[in-house]
Amino acid sequence: MSAIDLLQLNVWLDYIFTTLYVIVLVALSLHFIVGNVLVSGRAKRRFIGWEWPHHDGPPVPFLPKFLHFQHVASMIVLAITGLYIRFPGFLIGDVSNARTFMRGAHYVAMIIVTINLVWRLWYTFYSSQRDYREFAITKMDIITAPKVILYYIFVKSDKPHLAKYNVMQKATYTAFAPLLILQAITGFALVTFPFEFLGNTSPRDWILGWNLGLLLGSTDLAGWYMRIAHYVINWLFILLTTIHVYLSVSEDLPAFLNFFGLGFLDKNHGGHHGDEGHEGHGDDHDHGHVHAPVISKAD
């Protein structure tokens, strides 16, 4: 790809993802207003009748909740500071040295996310409470995937319940791991100041100098490609997280609240349902197994 194309690509990416994000926001708004409120009545049953999916699994341990909370906070910082680094007019006006501060905040959040990622992967695969099976997509998941999609587009009133997470959740959460690893690599490849412990070379030299840098004849050019990849993945995170938050809130608000230590805002918190397993916005038993005694399957 010629560099001229890279100039075009930079601008195209800005517009494509900005447009895409607006489309997603409009689509989710329509999904909620038309689908949840007008067509299916799910919103009324959930937010007014307070009928939410029932969870019968064990409570989610503290550690994954803690890591998730830290991860959310750090990712918000990363998204805001990252967009500021690319678009210095973003959020803050003319503030001297704001970019230096934003870069510092970006690096701190980056370190937290990287530690979190390693910690979560260890927890997933090697801890005594390892939960990698919860994310594994089974044959049944694939077979029943269309029904899950039909449920989300309000064609069906119920979706198959196979495990804690449905197939779409499994696919999304599993995709987060390689995306995070890629984002960490591309992010470190953008750091150009040298470190003593790297033999006075920069992370960019260390990551790109012996491969893509050699191939392209310039580590800085390789860094440009990394920046583009970093920017694209950043938008993928923003898009996926927006959808994730929307579905978490609209499908299982009590679990969402509980996951962030706000369970006391749940109207049924410590109340009549007595559901100790009600933690973690999983896919456990949707309609037909709700907190509230009144059950509707009209949608």
Partner 1 sequence: MLLSRRINIALVGAFACVLFSAHVAVAQEYDLNFTLPTAGKSGCMVCHADPNLGRLQGDKFVSYWVDPRPLDEGPHAGVLCTGCHLDFAYKAPHNIAETEWQRTARLACKNCHQDQWKVYSDGAHSLAVQPGAQATERELEKPLCGDCHGAHDIVALTDNPAGRALMHTQGRQVCGRCHEDYWDNYSDYYHGEAYRRGATDAPSCWQCHGAHDIFPSDDRRSQVHERTLSDTCAQCHPDTNEAYIAYAGLIHKRMDIAEANPLFGIISSAKDAIRGVFGQIRSWFT
Contact residues for partner 1, defined by CB under 8 A: 2-4, 6-8, 10-12, 14-16, 18-19, 22, 85-89, 92-100, 213, 216-221, 224
Nearest distance, CB of residue 29 and partner 1, angstroms: 14
User: CB within 8 A of 262, min separation 6: which ones?
Assistant: none
Residue type (1 letter), 109: A
**Length in residues, the chain:** 299
> Which of 21, 69 has the CB closer to partner 1?
21
Nearest distance, CB of residue 269 and partner 1, angstroms: 36
> Which of 17, 152 has the CB closer to partner 1?
17
Q: How far is CA 64 from CA 31, 129, 130, 207, 226, in A?
A: 30, 10, 10, 30, 30
> Which of 5, 276 has the CB closer to partner 1?
5
Nearest distance, CB of residue 14 and partner 1, angstroms: 8
> Which of 6, 39 has the CB closer to partner 1?
6
Q: Decide: helix, strand or coil at residue 12.
A: helix
Q: How many whole angstroms separate alpha carbon 11 and alpha carbon 195?
A: 33
**In terms of C-beta distances under 8 Å and separation of at least 24 residues, what long-range contacts does 175-179 make, across chains too?**
175/240, 176/237, 176/240, 177/117, 177/121, 179/233, 179/236, 179/237
Nearest distance, CB of residue 283 and partner 1, angstroms: 36
> Which of 198, 265 has the CB closer to partner 1?
198
Nearest distance, CB of residue 224 and partner 1, angstroms: 6
Within the chain, how many helices (H) and strands (E) appear?
Answer: 9, 0
Q: How many whole angstroms separate alpha carbon 215 and alpha carbon 232?
A: 22
